[in-house]
Amino acid sequence: MGQLERKTAIITGGGTGIGRAIAKRFHNEGATVLICGRRMNMLKETAESIDPNSPRILCVKTDVTDEKEIEHLYKSAMSKSGRIDILVNNAGVMRFGSLAETPLDDWDLMMKTNTWGPWRLMVNVLPYMKKAGGGSIINISSIAGIKSYPGAGIYCASKAAMQVISQVVAMENAGDNIRVNCILPAVVEDTELSNPIFGEENVPAFWDKLRPLHPLGRNGKPDDIAEAALFFATDQSSWITGTLLNVDGGRHMATNRPAD
Write out the catalytic residue numbers.
155
Q: Are 58 and 33 in contact (CB under 8 A)?
A: yes
Q: How near is the Cβ of 175 to ligand NAP at its closest, in Å?
A: 28
Pick from 110, 182, 188, 203 the residue near ligand NAP by CB under 6 A.
Answer: 188
228 binds ligand NAP (CB under 6 A): no
Q: Does 65 bind ligand NAP (CB under 6 A)?
A: yes
Query: Residue 142's closest CA among 159, 158, 154?
Result: 159
CB contact at 8 A, 93 and 111: no
Question: Which positions from 141 to 170 touch ligand NAP by CB under 6 A, shown as an x/- string?
Answer: -x----------------------------
Distance CA(256)–CA(96), nearest Å, equals 18
Question: Given the complex with ligand NAP, which of 172 and 200 has the nearer CB atom?
Answer: 200
Site membership for ligand NAP, residue 102 (CB under 6 A): no
Scored b (16 or more CB within 10 A) or e, 57-75 reads: bbbbebbbbeeebbeebbe
Dist CA 42 CA 166 (whole Å):
28
Quote the least distance from Cβ 160 to ligand NAP, whole Å: 12
Out of 10, 17, 165, 233, point to the residue binding ligand NAP (CB under 6 A). Answer: 17
Could you tell me if 149 and 210 are in contact, meaning their C-beta atoms sit under 8 angstroms apart?
no
Among 73, 92, 157, 228, binds ligand NAP (CB under 6 A): 92
DSSP state string for 185-198: E--BSS-STTHHHH
- Identified binder of ligand NAP from the candidate list 30, 192, 211, 212, rule CB under 6 A: 192
In the complex with ligand NAP, the residue whose CB is nearer, 177 or 206, is 206
Query: Distance (Å, rounded) from C-alpha 242 to C-alpha 164?
Result: 9
Query: Quick check: helix, strand or coil at residue 139?
Result: strand
Candidate list 185, 231, 232, 249; residue touching ligand NAP; CB under 6 A? 185
For the chain, helix, strand, coil in percent to 5 are: 50, 15, 35
Q: Would you say 132 or 145 has its CB closer to ligand NAP? A: 145
Angle at 240 between CA 22 and CA 4, to 5 degrees: 40
Q: Pick the stretch among 59-67, 95-103, 124-132, 174-182 that binds ligand NAP (CB under 6 A).
A: 59-67
Is residue 93 near ligand NAP by the rule CB under 6 A?
yes
Residue numbers of the site for ligand NAP (CB under 6 A)? Answer: 12-13, 15-19, 37-39, 42, 62-65, 90-94, 113, 140, 142, 185, 187-188, 191-193
